[in-house]
Amino acid sequence: MHKAVAIIPARFNSTRFPGKPLAALKGKSIIQHVYEHVSSAKLIDSVLVATDDKRIFDAVTLFGGTAVMTSGDHVSGTDRIAEAAEKIECGYVINVQGDEPFIRPEMVDEVVELLYNDDKVSISTLAKKTTDMNEIFSPDVVKVVMNNEGFAMYFSRAPIPFYRDEWGKEFRVMSQELRSEDKKMKEKSFSQLSIFFCYKHIGIYGYRKNALLQFTSMPQSRLEEIEKLEQLRALEAGMKIKVKETQYDTFGIDTIEDLRKAEEWQNISL
């Protein structure tokens, strides 16, 4: 029996970037970068790619990886890994997105350790402190707040927590400036706010296998549908999600433009 299995969901027909897992980055496909980084994690017993496309299956096999075919009807990557995990004897399942070529082995080990060290944890994940106001106020960057034990209280696309006394007036001013064409004023406003911070969520998850199967059997929840964040389904159902602050950052590839940026990104090396 495998103690911890990492499963990388990958589909070919991405709306914004068809064929994304097979796109080349620094001489290798994105999916190969992800696979090799995850395979270097110390606490992972096996790694596999779960896909619904023969082209991805063949590409993974060609570079020496393991892949399994799954249904093409899955709504999310989590549903896809659950199908694959159901057939594997394991205690923990780690979900690493197939478009995260900069994921580090240490990050994978961090989510496994959270599951190892606390029996109350059903799901584990990571967050990184950010003072970048462009990230904090971006709906594309998910934020999380935790309690004193590190368990997630809420995830949101909104800036949480919101520093009411410090940001209230500034936010109204900033909103007015953002509607103007004065770029210098925008930068000044963001700079004034940058002494504050939030935690941005890093989208890697660890699950106890039974928790994963339970989660994917539940219907979408109200908050999940509103924010389009599936982890809110788990919180609404009372599942415990533990969050560790990580020192590492990552960069997901959603579009062709992201791929271009990734080629030039110096913060994280491949």
pLDDT-derived band at 188, boundaries 50, 70, 90 = very low
CATH placement of domain 2-125+202-219+248-264: 3.90.550.10
Half-sphere exposure of 131 (CA within 13 A, CB side): 6
260/167: higher pLDDT: 260
Checking if the pLDDT of 138 tops 70, the result is yes
Checking if the pLDDT of 66 tops 80, the result is yes
Write down the pLDDT at residue 22.
96
Average pLDDT of span 208-213: 98
Average pLDDT of span 26-30: 93
| Domain residue extents for the chain | 2-125+202-219+248-264
Average pLDDT of span 232-236: 98
Checking if the pLDDT of 173 tops 80, the result is no
Helix axes 77-85, 209-217, angle to 10 degrees: 130
Q: What mean pLDDT value characterizes the chain? A: 90
Checking if the pLDDT of 166 tops 90, the result is no
Digit-coded pLDDT (tens) for 30-44 = 999 999 999 999 999
Write down the pLDDT at residue 165.
82
